[in-house]
Amino acid sequence: MIIGGDFNFYYHTEPACQEILYGQGLDLIDPINEMGNWHNNSSYNNVHTQSTRSATGGYAGGAYGGMDDRFDIIFTSNDVMDGSSGIEYISNTYIADGQDGSYFNQSINNNNNSQVPQDIARALFYMSDHLPVSLMFSINAPLSILNSNNHNTNLKFLNSSKILVLDFKRVEKSKIIIYDLTGKIVYLDRFDSQKHIEIELLFLPKGFYIVDCLLQNGRINYKFIIE
């Protein structure tokens, strides 16, 4: 799980920030481990994302006052950090573009920027009162072929023919739902008294998907990719 946005948090102990971190049954973390009291605190000058202007200016309006707040954050679940679910954060790739740590309470283009060329620093100043934040991930090869055996079910995806194959150890009554990464249901069907199921997915474009199998005595989720 990855959650990002302009949260307007001044410090990480605010109730809303704590709700994101610990309040929904799945704990989230800060990939760069920079939790704290960010507001007007020079100890966090290398992660501040707002404001790019020390005074009025820029094409898009917005606040000013210089770089002294970390309003823009991307949180991830722990499995993204250790790669246990196939997607892994690449160390040292989390950045606020243009933030080299030397602009506390100053404009982002106040002097020569060591992270981006000066024309980019000027563009960041004029574009918005916030800096864009980004990070990179690696996607492990096993996601390209789904082949699992769990809960008495063998499940595999054949990319060559775009066929999802489910083999149950016994006859099962099942409901099969496939979601894309936006959460949209792209396939749904029910099967009565089936031991072997083949689902042709030629209609689906390339991308990541999640298959959710609701069985008589359990539920199974798997991720797969259509290449």
* Residue 38 reports pLDDT greater than 60: yes
* Rg (the chain; Cα; Å): 23
The domain locations on the chain are 2-139, 141-226
Q: Of all residues in the chain, what percent carry a pLDDT higher than 90?
A: 48
Residue 151 has what pLDDT? 52
* Distance between CA atoms of residues 127 and 57, nearest Å: 10
Contact 181, 142 (CB under 8 A): no
Q: Give residue 180's pLDDT band: very low, low, confident or very high (50, 70, 90).
A: confident
* Residue 144 reports pLDDT greater than 80: no
Cis omega before residue 160 (within 30°)? no
* Residue 14 reports pLDDT greater than 90: yes
Q: Give residue 143's pLDDT band: very low, low, confident or very high (50, 70, 90).
A: very low
- Which top CATH class is 141-226? mainly beta
Q: Which residues contact 24 (CB under 8 A, 6 or more apart)?
A: none
Give strand pairing partners of 221.
212
* Nearest Cα residue to 178 out of 220, 125, 123: 220
Residue 107: both structure tokens together: 């404009």
Helix%, strand%, coil% for the chain, nearest 5:
15, 40, 45
* Nearest Cα residue to 152 out of 224, 219, 209: 219
* Distance between CA atoms of residues 126 and 124, nearest Å: 6
* Nearest Cα residue to 167 out of 178, 159, 158, 156: 156
Q: Of all residues in the chain, what percent carry a pLDDT higher than 70?
A: 93
Contact 183, 212 (CB under 8 A): no
Residue 147 has what pLDDT? 47
DSSP assignment string, 60-74: S----S-B-B--EEE
Average pLDDT, the chain: 87
Place of tokens 């689902």: 199
* Residue 154 reports pLDDT greater than 80: no
